[in-house]
Structure 1
Amino acid sequence: MSETPAGPTPGFLVWRLSTKWRVAVDRALAPLGLTHAQYSLLASLHGMGRSGARPSQRRLADHTGLEPLYVSKLARALEAAGLVERTPDPADTRAVQLALTAEGREVTGRAIAVVHQLLDRLLAPLGGRDGARTRALVDELTALLDVPLDAPLDSPAGVSADVSTEE
């Protein structure tokens, strides 16, 4: 039987850091009228659009890790704000492609600059955005993100994996 480690668990620390990061980005982008989630969608569109891609909402959801329904809601709000263009996908009539408008590119450029300044400040203890410790952190976080969510879990000791619905 393993002992419970003293202090916070890695999962708790990742959650706290994620929450802190979201709040910091929300605060930094508030003057631009953007939230962290909107920024994630816009910055992803910016990056994908540089290669000429017009991703579907589904592809953008997969890329950002946001739920497809939430991406759809965000895309509609950003379209209403004049930042995103939604068009039917010529290859799939059920799908919608997304792209930044001219105003969306301008706002996204300003938002990326703001977030880069925030990154510089928050990553300073690790040597900045280009520091060796930051690169190591990125490698470790990428390894954790690559673990599939649907992998089977081992049953706790003493609990049968064979679950019956019969009484």
Structure 2
Amino acid sequence: MSSTFGGATPGFLVWLLSMKWRVAVDRAVAPLGLTHAQYSLVASLYGMHRAGRRPSQRQLADHTGLEALYVSKLARALETSGLLERTRDPRDPRAVRLALTEEGREVARRAIEVVQGLMDQLLEPLGGLDGTRTEELARDLTTLLDVPLAPATAPEKEQP
């Protein structure tokens, strides 16, 4: 383990790793005209399209863990750049359905390849993408992600 991070809490290490990952993906997909957040949308939509799904903005927000308002903003930007189509759901006029355009599917496919290569590089110390340690890490992270968040409570005030 790096002496730079000795004594750091697991939460701080997860935060640092997520920031490192975000920066790395931003840099990797920038030549394709995407940001990390836009990549998360187009890659998710690409996978959903392949599974025969056309999600609503809300469903995509739930899938990516991004706020619905932020997904709406990103979707509008991706629509302006010609990568995404937004259409009203005829069964629910409040819902907006999302789909990649042909160009969007091509950009998503290329971006996924780039990020896959980045993942291979970053996971090499654990034996690569298919390594046993990587599989263990994925299981541990999934376990942590499955823990529900407790409702926020206000801190108790001290009595004088």
| TM-score normalised per structure 1 | 0.86
**1:100-150 Cα deviation digits (max 9, x unpaired):** 100000000100000001001000001111111111111111111111123
Q: In structure 2, what is the equivalent of residue 54 of structure 1?
A: 54
SS at match of 1:26: helix
Following TM superposition, by how much is the alpha carbon of 1:44 offset from its aligned partner in structure 2, in angstroms?
Answer: 0.4
Over 6 Å off, 4+ runs: none
Q: Write the distance in 1 (CA, Å) between the matches of 2:25 and 2:9.
A: 24
**Higher mean C-alpha deviation, range 144-153 or range 81-90:** 144-153
SS at match of 2:94: strand
1:47 partner letter = G
Structure ranking higher in helix proportion: 2
Q: In structure 1, what is the equivalent of residue 107 of structure 2?
A: 107
SS at match of 1:24: helix
1:142 partner letter = T
| TM-score normalised per structure 2 | 0.90
Q: In structure 2, what is the equivalent of residue 119 of structure 1?
A: 119
**1:39-59 Cα deviation digits (max 9, x unpaired):** 000000011111111000000
Q: In structure 1, what is the equivalent of residue 36 of structure 2?
A: 36
SS at match of 1:42: helix
Q: Write the distance in 1 (CA, Å) between the matches of 2:120 and 2:142.
A: 20
Q: Write the distance in 2 (CA, Å) between the matches of 1:12 and 1:123.
A: 19
Following TM superposition, by how much is the alpha carbon of 1:91 offset from its aligned partner in structure 2, in angstroms?
Answer: 2.0
Q: In structure 2, what is the equivalent of residue 141 of structure 1?
A: 141
Percent same amino acid among aligned pairs?
71
Q: Write the distance in 1 (CA, Å) between the matches of 2:133 and 2:141.
A: 12
Q: In structure 1, what is the equivalent of residue 3 of structure 2?
A: none
Q: What is the total number of aligned residue pairs between the two structures?
A: 153
Q: Write the distance in 1 (CA, Å) between the matches of 2:152 and 2:67.
A: 22
SS at match of 2:129: coil
Q: Write the distance in 2 (CA, Å) between the matches of 1:138 and 1:56.
A: 28
Q: Write the distance in 2 (CA, Å) between the matches of 1:148 and 1:134.
A: 24
Q: Write the distance in 2 (CA, Å) between the matches of 1:150 and 1:31.
A: 40
Q: In structure 1, what is the equivalent of residue 26 of structure 2?
A: 26
Q: In structure 1, what is the equivalent of residue 63 of structure 2?
A: 63
Structure 2 unaligned segments of length 5 or more: list them. 1-5
Following TM superposition, by how much is the alpha carbon of 1:90 offset from its aligned partner in structure 2, in angstroms?
Answer: 2.1
TM-aligned CA distance change 1:7 to 1:114, over 3 Å:
same
**Bigger-Rg structure (1/2):** 1
SS at match of 1:66: coil
Following TM superposition, by how much is the alpha carbon of 1:152 offset from its aligned partner in structure 2, in angstroms?
Answer: 6.7
Over aligned residues, Cα RMSD in angstroms?
Answer: 1.9
